[in-house]
Amino acid sequence: MPEIKEPNQVLVKVHAAGICGSDVHVYHGSNPYAKYPVVLGHEGSGEVIAVGEGVTDLKPGASVVFEPITYCGKCYACRCGHHNVCRELKVLGCIVDGIFQEYVVMPRSQVYEYDASKMTYQQAALCEPFTIGLQANWRGDVRPGDVVLVHGGGPIGLIVANIAKSRGATVIVSEPNESRLAMAKDFGADYSINPMKEDLDAFINKLTDGEGVNVIFEAAGVPALLAHATSQLSPAGRLVAMTFGKEPIPVNFKEINAKELTILGTRHQYQKFPEVVKILPDHLKEVDEITTHVFKAEDFQKAFDTLADRNSGAGKVVLTFA
Ligand SMILES: [Zn+2]
Ligand SMILES: [Zn+2]
């Protein structure tokens, strides 16, 4: 049982934790940032059991979600509001021990309380991927009336689409897997396209009268899609790269200049939890649909295998801790 050692710490009983694609990479040794040995997990929820003497704004019994990152607050990135790319960034379940444990001790600043009458622990565990979707939409500056193209209908692509729709955009999801594509509609996609069956470029041309889409999110992990995006964007368009290839990807700077395009990286999130704990109760239908599998923590091997199995139909896989 971990113990509170500092006055600003809280002891939390973990109840539910989602398995992220990045957990799978850490598990397989293919995450370049991971420091071993490490306890996995950064997407989760739990119940406050005890608080340090310096904590006055949180009581035992409160339901909380976890903030996965810590930062120095002094480096250039921190000074200009990009704490999520701090030079001393530490991420739960990657560089420091994560939350795939029954109990964790954390600084007060790394937990956010939410209204337990509005969502279950299992639902609240999806706050973190929604913060990622919110960060990506913030990076892409998605505005009402924008036409947005999301490549990839995995959990993150669907969440990005869902948030873009709630910001008033017209959303296209492109995804070759038909069962994922079927979900896209429920996540607010106005158009769901299977690019293996339909000519996506022709569709974009027709929909936008040849202007191009305004924002593209690449969440499929296909390098060629990043390279091709500059030709699909409208003037003043934005490309948010949520994936990256192993090799450098050629980019057409002629198009970038001619159309004054913006290419944006996006990594983790900064200060998106306060908003997400408020808005997630409005997205519970989507949260429940995307949570395809729930396993007890002791069945973690089955959970990881399910996530890795392309035929399992897995969306979000969540572990529960008794
Ligand atoms: Zn994650
Ligand atoms: Zn910093």
Q: What is the pLDDT of residues 60-88, one digit of tens each?
A: 999 999 999 999 999 999 999 999 999 99
Indicate whether 246 and 210 sit together in one domain: yes
* 143 located within any domain: yes
Mean pLDDT of the chain: 96
Q: Is residue 4 part of a domain?
A: no
Whether 13 is in a domain gets the answer: yes
Residue 309 makes CB contacts below 8 A (sequence gap 6+) with: none
Structure tokens at 54: 């310096």
Whichever domain contains 145, its CATH number is: 3.40.50.720
- Listed residues 241, 265, 289: the one ending a domain: 265
Instruction: Tell me the residues surrounding ligand 2 (ion) with CB < 5 Å.
Output: 71-72, 75, 78, 86
pLDDT in tens, 186-218: 999 999 999 999 999 999 999 999 999 999 999
Of all ligands present, the nearest one to the C-alpha of 43 is 1
* Pair 115, 165 in one domain: no
Domain total of the chain: 2
Average of per-residue pLDDT across 116-123 = 98
61 and 96, same structural domain?
yes
Please check the confidence at residue 32 and state whether its pLDDT lies above 90: no
Burial of 128 (0-12, 13-18, 19+ CB in 10 A): buried
Residue 103: domain span: 9-125+271-320
Q: Which residues keep their CB under 5 angstroms from ion ligand 1? A: 20
CATH number at residue 83: 3.90.180.10
- Phi, psi (deg, nearest 5) at residue 12: -125, 135
Question: Under 8 Å CB-to-CB from 102, ≥6 apart: which residues?
Answer: 13, 14, 297, 321
Q: Are residues 167 and 227 in the same domain?
A: yes
Residue type, 230: T
Provide the pLDDT for residue 311. Answer: 87
Same domain, 167 and 198: yes
Q: What are phi and psi of 6, to 5 degrees?
A: -120, 150
